[in-house]
Chains A and B, each alone.
Chain A
């Protein structure tokens, strides 16, 4: 019998749990962390101490009214932090809470209160909903009180939740403190939640997922991020709430999750999804890069009984996982005998999560909770879930459907019989059947009524509206003379009903763009309505009568925002009700999508300004160029290519930008579209055409663009034969990025196809342009900049700002941007091990490689704390999907190694990569400024090693009539000491680096890469061993040991400050010193500056330096390299340099040495005194 089932599959791990009540545990937690935030909703926060004090007040008021152990008390309150205190207050008094949610159908609410035997309802909405109800006393919130110990025992009931019942009457599930505490212990073990948990408080109190939202954080010292009713009902507001509250853990139903964008919520590290079947496509979107778990469990087994991680590669029907700790799961036939593995049966659940039963329903309890014949544990029960499942060979349980007629509508379990029972009581109805069918907004209920003249929709709504919840109200009602009967069984033919219901779903109308539908705004709104609700509306069509529900409203609002740019609130959909009034509201609604405005004049973004500045420092190098080339075979039409390129530049105005400056402040202007020159270089007569080509491609890739005057991109065609050409293009990064490549190729292909067909090429207008991004971003930075910057300075507190890897040559005193490349490919075995580890840890291959790289660096420097750079593509709005431009941010990533196992390092790195994307409001320049990182001409500030994890699949260029094949082009330079790229080639992971050959020899880099590949393999094979103990021979000495004398800065050797060379004292200022000091005072807005003050220590930053440069150039009439200002960061040193630096080289060197000393020794000061470094 049971031995045919694998024991691993049927039993969760044994796991002890505290023998205490929920109240005891929260009280104990509050004593440990009284000042920690327990509940937050925007600016409303309750600390643990405040939460408990409010709860104590509630408990005192309840005790005064006779509440004690096991007394049931209704809770009726708005979704505000005080609601959590109200719930806790009932528990503290020893009572058992019964959620009675305000705003629902009043008759049902009062019916539940009566069924639950509740005579006391507490909460801020109690008076409004229960005032005047016979036999019920409403109690408001009494304010803070004094804590009295909770009299309840762990076996006492904690809450009663009412779920839909098969007899048409809801049934109350009795859940004990023990059930909850055991569940929380299990789910904490399952998800690794800790005191840092910020949970998503989204479930309504009447849905048992609220147990998870509230008690997981409150038993750990974490915080509940409690959503208000309005934030809960609107996907845009919901996403904003999650991001602003930095939610990192939470349960959500798949229907709601499907409306959120995973890219917008990288900080949400643990996503539990369930309450209804999770589609594989949803897992594919959400699983990559985070811990994504399915959560399955009836209320009767306390929130979750079966759970497990889901990967991006699952397929439907979906596995729901394995039993939670201490739980048992069996798959049985109708006689309760186990079915063979792999066969379908009903799922039975056993374990300490089992509820006591249904309040006041002993017969029903005996029916659903049956003796356990399998475990051998005496007197144990099993709950019959009514769910059809099977065991997969890997031991996971796969969900297949329901055995009875319960359905899920928007996450709520609805018994169709309950709806039928209510409708059958409506006068004038002789027969009724209700079925659930797939609808435009998820499953929806369709009711069939007899006779044909049964009451109309209005009468039905006014009758059923007070007796059924919104989810239970039929979306559509069909009236018939008779209901179909099966000729075989003589029973109601439900399949026929479902077919009938489906046939009456109006086919979705043409989803053409709004413009194509007649142009008017109302027509556009009608188009969206038709698509989402399945039928075209008339002016009087009622949203709810048309099948609209809260989910459809969320989708409607999202579509109005995305497609029409109109800001409409979900509330307005419900208050408008009819299509006509909604269309009016839309017409009156403010335009703009989350602050996205269009038609802005050319505006620079912060990353563009940063690149511009680097360009000023090193005007003749081109480390930020992007160069590509394709070999084209076939007849190339040069004229058509020129016309197509012009069309691309017309569409993407950023390609026509110029970036001049005035007084050191860069700004953008846009040139008119002109014909694009396509120079053709003929190599057909060359003796060595391929060598010549390679040389010219290299030179083209390094072309120094003058951002102020010329186009920031260029194209060259190399002719190798009548039907063989190489098309090479180079862009300055300030107007282009990796993503832009695909956009550019697509547009070029479309325009070229039109041109060769003899037409004048044209591309559709873009919904938004790069300038709109810069403006949108400026607004975001304004709103989020403060908090994000605070986060960064806190996060990087105590981190070193210099990373010096062992090298072969002294560091040039002024950073060079020379570049060379190297690559390594992981072995098949290592590649597999890395992928498996990434999957197990719920993260990406890149995070695993970052962890290994971090460990390698730690072994090289002997330090355990380093800052690397990562890059983030800031393409968060769909409107920018097809926009060419520079949407890249470089962000610092702090990698801390030491003592940890590799698995822990991987988790840390995954967390870092996600955190780094979650705080976009503060660009790198501001972070550097806020950290007070000393500037130094020898290296890039803060980030000297970049780890590039952006992994765009290389786009393909297809030009009509031609085959195109990429030609490798060497990278034009290295903006950092080393840039590491994680790449995928032919299904295998590889690492490519661009490094500066002025620092490193090729042999050292080759060895470093080989060692990295070997180390990551060894670490992935032993993920639980302390990382430092793995493959201790790596890296080899040729990587580890620097060349003698190489760890210095060139030209900075003489020790000690040159005495007597710097004239001291403010009185002896030279004319040049006066001039420079005056400009500094003006630009830095300071009353005084000392002649030996370092510019970057007294508030100067890159863009201020540019302003100083512009004024100094204007005042002296001389051409001064901006780099000189960097090299000579004091008034005295700069003046000496201007007055004849050749005579005083010591001054320059002294300043450089000082800068180098500062960089070497400086760590970012921790935010708080005594904080850990």
Chain B
């Protein structure tokens, strides 16, 4: 049986997480355009989430 599929997701604070591809996305979360196994998704997050500060904090710092 194939491994469960996950999506990389992102909220408006530009915080990343992963979510089951089978389930409806919770409110306020968006598909970040990457799907794969759990491990693949987490590895992808490691490459794209380069500034971990929430967007509101990041913007207030500039």
Contacts and interface: CB of A to CB of B under 8 A. Distances in A.
Interface of A: 69-70, 153, 155-156, 174, 176, 335-336, 356-357, 359-360, 362-367, 369-373, 376-381
B33 interface: no
Interface of B: 8-9, 11-13, 15-20, 23-29, 41-43, 45-46, 48-50, 52-54, 56-57, 60-61
Contact of B17 (A174, A176, A335, A366): A366
For the complex of A and B, the 8 pairs showing the least CB-CB separation, nearest first, are A378-B28, A379-B28, A379-B11, A362-B49, A363-B46, A363-B42, A373-B26, A155-B57
Given A356-B54, A371-B11, A378-B28, 18 more contacts: A70-B53, A155-B56, A156-B57, A176-B57, A356-B52, A356-B57, A362-B16, A362-B45, A362-B49, A362-B50, A362-B52, A363-B46, A366-B8, A366-B45, A371-B9, A378-B11, A379-B12, A381-B15
Contacts of A376: 27
A153 B26 contact: no
Contacts of B25: 371
Contact of A370 (B18, B24, B48, B50): B18
Contacts of A357: 15, 52
A363 B28 contact: no
A69, A356, A371 interface centre (most CB from chain B within 10 Å) = A371
A153 B53 CA distance: 13
B20 A335 contact: yes
B52 A365 contact: yes
17 contacts: A153-B57, A155-B56, A155-B57, A174-B52, A176-B57, A335-B20, A360-B52, A362-B45, A363-B45, A365-B52, A369-B15, A369-B17, A370-B18, A371-B29, A373-B26, A380-B26, A381-B17
Nearest to A68: B61
Contacts of A155: 54, 56-57, 60
A377 B13 CA distance: 13
Contacts of B29: 371, 379
A371 B17 contact: yes
B26 A371 contact: yes
Contacts of B53: 70, 356
A363 B39 CA distance: 9
Contact of A366 (B42, B57, B60): B42
A677 B52 CA distance: 87
Contacts of A367: 18, 42
Contacts of A363: 42-43, 45-46
A774 B50 CA distance: 70
A373 to B, nearest CB: 4
A362 B61 CA distance: 20
A300 to B, nearest CB: 14
B28 A380 contact: yes
Given A155-B60, A366-B17, A378 B27 contact: yes
Given A362-B45, A366-B42, A371 B54 contact: no
Contacts of B17: 366, 369-371, 381
Contacts of A362: 16, 45-46, 48-50, 52
A371 B19 contact: yes
A803 to B, nearest CB: 62
B52 to A, nearest CB: 6
A336 B17 CA distance: 14
Contacts of B46: 362-363
B50 to A, nearest CB: 8
A166 to B, nearest CB: 13
A366 B18 contact: yes
B41 to A, nearest CB: 8
A370 B25 CA distance: 11
Contacts of B28: 377-380
Contacts of B41: 366
Given A362-B52, A372-B26, A379-B13, A153 B19 contact: no
Contacts of A370: 17-19
A153 B57 CA distance: 8
Nearest to A359: B52
A365 B28 CA distance: 18
Contacts of B8: 366
Task: Pick from A174, A176, A357 the residue with the most CB of B within 10 Å.
Answer: A357
Contacts of B12: 378-379
Nearest to B12: A379
Nearest to A372: B26
Nearest to B24: A373
A369 B29 CA distance: 13
Contacts of B50: 362
Contacts of A176: 57
A673 B33 CA distance: 95
Contacts of B57: 153, 155-156, 176, 356
Contacts of A381: 11, 15, 17
Contacts of A359: 52
A373 B61 contact: no
Contacts of A356: 15, 52-54, 57
A384 to B, nearest CB: 10
A679 B7 CA distance: 94
A651 to B, nearest CB: 71
A836 to B, nearest CB: 41
A491 to B, nearest CB: 19
Interface centre among B8, B20, B53 (most CB of A within 10 A): B53
A335 B45 CA distance: 20
Nearest to B45: A366
Contacts of A372: 26
A377 B15 contact: no
A376 B28 CA distance: 9
A363 B52 CA distance: 11
Contacts of B54: 155, 356
A378 to B, nearest CB: 3
B61 A70 contact: yes
B18 to A, nearest CB: 5
A582 to B, nearest CB: 49
Contacts of A379: 11-13, 15, 27-29
Most-contacted residue by chain B among A366, A369, A370 (CB, 10 A): A366
Nearest to A174: B52
A150 to B, nearest CB: 14
A674 B33 CA distance: 98
Contacts of A69: 61
Contacts of B20: 335-336
Contacts of A373: 23-24, 26
Contacts of A364: 42
A451 B28 CA distance: 54
B32 to A, nearest CB: 10
Contacts of B27: 376-379
Nearest to A380: B28
A481 to B, nearest CB: 34
